[in-house]
Amino acid sequence: MKQRALILIVDDEVANIEILNAALEDEYEICFATSGEEAIEIAHKVLPDLILLDVLMPGIDGYEVCRRLKENALLADVPIIFTTGLGDQEAEVRGLSLGAIDYITKPISPGIVRVRVRNHIELKHMRDQLAELAVTDALTGLSNRRRLEQTLKQETARLARTGDRLSVIMLDIDFFKQFNDTYGHIAGDRCIAMVAAALNRAVRRAADLTARYGGEEFACILPGLEHEEAMAVAQSIRDHVHSLGIPHMRPDAGAYVTVSVGVATARCLPGMTSELWINVADQQLYLAKAAGRDQVIGTIFGADYQDGDHRLHTESCDRSAETGGGEHPPGVNGIPVNSGGVS
């Protein structure tokens, strides 16, 4: 069953809170505050789905509460409905221009309050769902690349304040093009979904993030781990994919679906961009591919790491290998690429 929405009622007059509470308590969870200061404190604590906010209060008034909530990234999207006895248009315009979505004038009509609140709660649920869909990969239910990049940016900034470590894992399914060619795209999608599930079984902490980076490529963000611990997680991902036992007639005579995994760990320092972790992990993934696949390779890097143009090389390596011959570069980063074996 869907959880009931939580509404924060803010009014310095307890009688008003009682009227609003009576109108809404059958449908919603209710909490309340009797001052602006208290409202801000409680809003941070409970993250309400909607706030009914009195304009006229001693101390911080409703306008100021609204302004402060809108400044906070976590609370900026919480819909605010002003409640006031003012009833003049200027006050209404001021409230709406501060970011409130609606206005209810006192004396309060319980019927109107119920309908307006219901409409705005519904709209908020739709907005939340859209926002969630926009950062979720439809096939696997993992985060998509957009959320991965957003989270990585936030995490590198957050951890740079304490100089803590951050690891990024990049992995992809070995010989996936051949898998699709042999078994078809529906089986290919199923294979991707199964590997995603294995990934989620291996990466278990609430602070970690697992994402489909694109195609048959996945990524994980692991904050706060030592490199050895991140390598152990990566190894566990590889093991979990092994234990899926998905049959695969591979060009290298292997019999099952495997993954190659790259791990990049660094201490977060101010000025290091989040792209660095992706690039270094991708480079390690490339090395795992070139070394024969179905393995984990990782590295610790520092703020002095020089970013190279390896991504292009990784792709050209995969492409030449997966087309099974034809044109391919004679060598990549000094590692020879051959048409039949390395993929």
12 interacts with Mg ion by CB under 5 A: yes
Strands (E), 70-113: 80-84, 102-105
- Provide the minimum distance between the beta carbon of 15 and Mg ion in the complex, in angstroms, as a whole number: 10
User: In terms of CB distance, is 106 or 124 closer to Mg ion?
Assistant: 106
Q: Which stretch binds Mg ion (CB under 5 A): 46-54, 60-68, 87-95, 334-342?
A: 46-54
Residue 194 · residue 256 · CB < 8 Å = no
Residues with a catalytic annotation lie at 216
Check the CA dihedral 272-275-278-280 and report its sign.
negative
318 interacts with Mg ion by CB under 5 A: no
54 interacts with Mg ion by CB under 5 A: yes
* Cβ contacts of 52 within 8 Å, gap of 6 or more: 7, 8, 9, 10, 11, 20, 81, 83, 104, 113, 117
108 interacts with Mg ion by CB under 5 A: no
Q: Which stretch binds Mg ion (CB under 5 A): 57-65, 162-170, 200-208, 302-310?
A: 57-65
Backbone angles phi, psi at 165, to 5 degrees: -85, 150
Cis amide bond preceding 330, omega within 30: no
Burial of 321 (0-12, 13-18, 19+ CB in 10 A): buried
User: In terms of CB distance, is 54 or 149 closer to Mg ion?
Assistant: 54
User: In terms of CB distance, is 56 or 193 closer to Mg ion?
Assistant: 56
User: In terms of CB distance, is 53 or 272 closer to Mg ion?
Assistant: 53
- Provide the minimum distance between the beta carbon of 84 and Mg ion in the complex, in angstroms, as a whole number: 8
56 interacts with Mg ion by CB under 5 A: yes
Tell me which H or E stretch contains 196.
Answer: helix 185-202
Report how many residues bind Mg ion under the rule CB under 5 A. 4
86 interacts with Mg ion by CB under 5 A: no
49 interacts with Mg ion by CB under 5 A: no
Instruction: Give residues in contact with Mg ion (CB under 5 A).
Output: 12, 54, 56-57
